[in-house]
Amino acid sequence: MELGKKISENIVLCEDGKYRWLYSMSLYRNPTIFLLVWKIFFFVTLGILAFVVILDVIDWGWNMENIAEILQGYALFLLGMTLLVGAGYLIYAFMMGGRYLVLFEMDEKGVNHMQFPAQARKAGLVSGATVVAG
């Protein structure tokens, strides 16, 4: 970050006329990213559950025993999904050093959100490893 006039504790007015500040979020203490990933998986699988229940009702009629079995299986799936998402998130947090670092840059056009280059490289390596792992 360029040196400039310090506006507040975190905000600096740089020589190019842009305000810049750094935000650091603890990946271990802030569950925002974990919850976002979990919600995505939840709603996708909820749609699949609805589809399966509809197919079951079409094939077998409104049989509560079948639907109860499907819901029980879904509950177990949610438990397993939560454990896997949690484990994956902890591995990601460890690989990123436990922090998510963001540099904000503001001018008259708006605010830019940029990940630190070192963390962007790490994130690229993590995504490449997941692609290779399948």
pLDDT in tens, 60-100: 888 899 999 999 999 999 999 999 999 999 998 998 899 98
11 close to 106: Cβ distance less than 8 angstroms: no
124 or 39, higher pLDDT: 39
What pLDDT score does 124 carry? 86
What pLDDT score does 51 carry? 96
Closest CA to 118 of 133, 134, 103: 103
63 or 50, higher pLDDT: 50
Which token pair is 63? 């049989």
Distance CA(52)–CA(109), nearest Å, equals 48
Rounded alpha-carbon distances, angstroms, from residue 55 to 37, 41, 70: 27, 21, 12
Whole-prediction pTM: 0.75
What pLDDT score does 72 carry? 97
What pLDDT score does 3 carry? 65
Closest CA to 81 of 130, 30, 124, 44: 44
pLDDT, one tens digit per residue, over 114-130 is 888 888 888 888 888 88
